[in-house]
C-alpha cells in the first residue's frame, strides 16, 4: 500500500519484482482520483514504464463516494497505434472481470508474439532511438540511416526506429519519459531486446534506462566499438580495439552501493583491502599499461618498415575517406590485390600497403586506411592514432568520396575536420568521386566541377586511367619528385 496526497502518488522501486520480455510485473496499481476524471497520461505512462499487470483508478464524487472504475492494460499487439487498451468505465460495485485469467491470457499472448519475432540466427533485435534538438547539424533521418548501417554491420536486426524532437535533453533518461514508455511498448510488441541510442549516454542515463525498461541499452560509441572488435584481424588492431573498450569502460565503473564502498570513506569505510570496484579499476589500468607497451613495440616495428620504404625512395600515397567509400576496392583494382572489400561499414581496420605501378612504369607505395565517420568517438580516435600515423608519411592523400550517397557533402566535411585534428591538412589532397556508375553523367560532371574532383568507378579498371595520370602529374610537380623514379 502506498499513501499519496492531492498532488499524486510516488511509487517505490519495483525492480525486485518479477519482469521479463514475456512477463508483466505481477502487480496491479489501483488508486483514487479526487476529481472526476479517468486515467490520465501519467497513469498510462506508469503502466508502460513499470510494465504493470493493470492500472486502475476509482473516481470519487464530491462527497467522497466511489462512482466508477477506470482500467487499462498493455497490449501484446499494437491496436490502432496504441500500446494499451483503456476499458469502458465500470460502475462501482459492478466489477466482474476475472483478472487472473485476463493477465494470464495477456502474458501467453506476449510470449507467443516473442516467439513469432524470434529468428533462427538468434540475432539481437534492436530499436534505434534518436533525440533531435535545434543545435544538430545532421538531420535525424540521415543520422538514423547511418546508425542503421552500423547496426546491420554489427549483425543486429532492426525492428523499429524512434525519433523524438526535444528542446532540452532529459537529464535522467535522455529521452522523454512518455516517449520511453512508448519505446517499452514497442519493444514488447516487436520482440526487441536491445535499445541503441544515436548519441553518447552517460553512465547514469544508461543505467536508468536499462533499469526502467529491462532491456539492454547501448549507445553509438559502444556499437562502433563492437563493430571494431568483430572486424579487427591483426594483433595491432585487436590491441587498439581492446584499449578503446577499456578506456570507454573505465570512467563508467560505478559503485553499486555507497554505504558498502570504501570509496565513500568515513566511519565503517576504513581498513585494509580493496572493494571490487577498486580492484576492477586497478586491473583495467594495469591491462591498459600492458597493452600500451605492446603497442609501442608494434609501432617500433612499423617505424622500421617506414625507414625501409624511405630507402626505396618511392613516394607514398594514402587512400582516405568516409567509411564504405570503396577505399579497399580501389586499392585492389589499382594493384591487382585481393584485400577484403565489402559493402559494409569498417570492412577494413588494419592499414595495408601495396606497390603501385603507373603506365609510365614509375612506381609508388599506396596505402589503404581505416574509414572515418562523423563524431568519431574519442576513445577510438586516440586508440587508432597509431594506425593513422601512416598518413604522416604520405606525399599525397587520395580523398575517396561515394558520390552515390546523398550525404557525401557532410562526409567530405567530417573527413576534412578529422584531417585538421590530426594536423594533416597540409598534405596535398586529391578529391576522387567513386561509384560514378550509380548516378547520372550530368550529375557527376556538376559535382566534379563544384568540388574540383575527378570521378571513377573503383570496380571498373577502365575508369582509373585519368586517376593514375592525375596522381602522376601531382607527384611530378611536388618537391620530392626526384624520388619518383622509374622501376625499370
Render pLDDT for 313-359 as a digit per residue (tens, 0 to 9): 788 899 999 988 999 899 999 998 876 666 666 766 667 888 898 88
Provide the residue count of the chain: 488
pTM above 0.85? no
Rounded average pLDDT over 449-472: 94
Alpha-carbon torsion angle 274, 276, 281, 283, nearest 10: 90
Cα angle vertex 222, ends 352, 323, to 5°? 35
Who has greater pLDDT, 312 or 439?
439
Phi, psi of 192 (to 5 degrees): -70, 140
pLDDT attached to residue 16 = 60
**222 membership: H or E segment, kind and range:** helix 220-231
486 three-state secondary structure: strand
CATH architecture of the domain with residue range 125-227: 3-Layer(aba) Sandwich (3.40)
Top-ranked range on mean pLDDT: pick from 23-32, 337-346, 390-399, 429-438: 429-438
Q: Going by DSSP bridges, is the β-strand pair 157-165/316-321 parallel, antiparallel, or unpaired?
A: unpaired
Percent residues over pLDDT 70 in the chain: 78
256 pLDDT more than 60: no
* DSSP state, residue 472: H
What's the confidence (pLDDT) of residue 117?
57
Residue 135 — pLDDT band, cuts 50, 70, 90?
Answer: low
Question: What's domain 313-483's superfamily in CATH?
Answer: P-loop containing nucleotide triphosphate hydrolases (3.40.50.300)
pLDDT of 18 reads 56
pLDDT digits (tens, 9 = 90+) for 262-284: 333 333 333 444 566 777 888 98
Q: What is the mean pLDDT of residues 188-202?
A: 86
pLDDT confidence bin for 430, thresholds 50/70/90: very high
d(CA 485, CA 488): 9
Contacts of 325 (CB under 8 A, 6+ apart): 371, 400, 401, 402, 411, 434
Q: Is the pLDDT of residue 471 over 90?
A: yes
What is each CA distance from 467 to 132, 358, 367, in whole angstroms? 40, 10, 16
Please give the residue that has the higher pLDDT: either 127 or 91: 127
Strand order in the sheet with 216-219: 157-165, 125-132, 194-197, 216-219
Please report, for the chain, the start and end positions of each structural domain, with discontinuous segments joined by +.
28-117, 125-227, 233-256+276-309, 313-483
Q: Please, which pLDDT band fits residue 408 given cuts at 50, 70 and 90?
A: very high
Per residue in 73-90, pLDDT (tens digit) is 887 766 566 677 888 888
Amino acid at each position: 500500500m502506498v499513501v499519496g496526497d492531492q498532488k499524486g502518488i510516488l511509487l517505490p522501486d519495483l525492480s525486485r519484482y518479477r519482469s521479463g520480455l514475456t512477463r508483466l510485473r505481477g502487480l496491479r496499481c489501483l488508486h483514487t482520483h479526487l476529481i472526476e476524471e479517468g486515467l490520465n497520461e501519467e497513469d498510462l505512462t506508469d503502466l508502460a514504464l513499470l510494465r504493470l499487470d493493470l492500472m486502475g483508478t476509482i473516481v470519487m464524487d464530491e462527497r467522497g463516494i466511489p462512482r466508477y472504475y477506470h482500467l487499462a492494460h498493455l497490449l501484446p499487439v499494437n491496436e490502432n497505434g496504441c500500446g494499451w487498451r483503456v476499458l469502458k468505465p465500470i460502475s462501482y460495485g459492478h466489477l466482474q472481470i476475472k483478472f487472473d485469467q485476463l493477465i494470464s491470457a495477456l502474458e501467453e499472448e506476449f510470449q507467443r508474439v516473442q516467439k513469432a519475432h524470434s529468428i533462427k540466427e538468434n540475432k539481437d533485435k534492436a530499436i534505434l532511438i534518436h533525440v533531435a534538438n535545434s543545435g544538430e547539424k545532421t538531420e535525424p533521418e540521415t543520422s538514423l540511416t547511418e546508425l542503421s548501417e552500423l547496426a546491420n554491420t554489427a549483425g543486429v536486426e532492426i525492428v523499429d526506429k524512434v525519433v523524438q524532437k526535444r528542446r532540452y535533453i532529459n537529464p535522467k533518461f535522455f529521452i522523454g519519459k512518455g516517449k520511453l514508455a512508448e519505446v517499452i511498448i514497442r519493444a514488447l510488441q516487436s520482440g526487441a531486446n536491445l535499445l541503441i541510442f544515436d548519441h553518447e549516454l552517460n553512465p547514469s542515463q544508461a543505467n536508468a534506462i536499462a533499469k526502467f525498461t529491462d532491456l539492454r541499452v547501448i549507445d553509438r560509441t559502444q556499437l562502433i566499438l563492437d563493430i571494431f572488435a568483430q572486424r579487427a584481424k591483426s594483433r595491432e588492431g585487436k590491441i587498439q580495439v581492446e584499449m578503446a573498450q577499456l578506456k570507454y569502460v573505465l570512467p563508467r565503473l560505478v559503485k553499486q552501493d555507497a554505504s558498502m564502498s570504501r570509496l565513500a570513506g568515513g566511519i565503517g569505510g576504513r581498513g585494509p583491502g580493496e572493494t571490487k570496484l577498486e580492484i576492477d579499476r586497478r586491473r583495467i589500468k594495469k591491462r591498459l599499461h600492458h597493452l600500451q607497451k605492446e603497442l609501442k613495440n608494434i609501432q617500433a616495428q612499423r617505424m622500421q618498415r617506414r625507414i625501409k620504404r624511405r630507402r626505396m625512395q618511392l613516394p607514398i600515397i594514402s587512400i582516405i575517406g568516409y567509411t564504405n567509400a570503396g577505399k579497399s576496392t580501389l586499392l585492389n583494382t589499382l594493384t591487382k590485390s585481393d584485400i577484403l572489400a565489402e559493402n559494409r561499414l569498417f570492412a577494413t581496420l588494419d592499414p595495408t600497403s601495396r606497390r603501385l605501378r603507373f603506365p609510365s612504369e614509375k612506381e609508388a607505395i599506396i596505402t589503404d586506411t581505416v574509414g572515418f565517420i562523423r563524431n568519431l568517438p574519442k576513445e577510438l580516435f586516440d586508440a587508432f592514432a597509431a594506425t593513422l600515423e601512416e598518413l604522416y608519411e604520405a606525399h599525397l592523400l587520395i580523398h575517396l568520396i561515394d558520390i552515390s550517397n546523398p550525404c557525401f557533402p557532410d562526409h567530405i566535411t567530417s573527413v576534412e575536420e578529422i584531417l585538421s585534428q590530426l594536423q594533416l591538412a597540409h598534405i596535398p589532397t586529391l578529391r576522387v568521386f567513386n561509384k560514378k556508375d550509380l548516378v547520372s553523367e550530368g550529375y557527376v560532371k556538376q559535382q566534379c566541377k563544384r568540388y574540383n574532383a575527378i570521378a571513377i568507378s573503383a570496380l571498373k579498371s577502365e575508369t582509373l586511367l585519368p586517376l593514375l595520370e592525375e596522381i602522376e602529374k601531382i607527384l611530378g610537380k611536388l618537391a620530392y619528385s626526384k624520388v619518383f623514379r622509374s622501376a625499370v
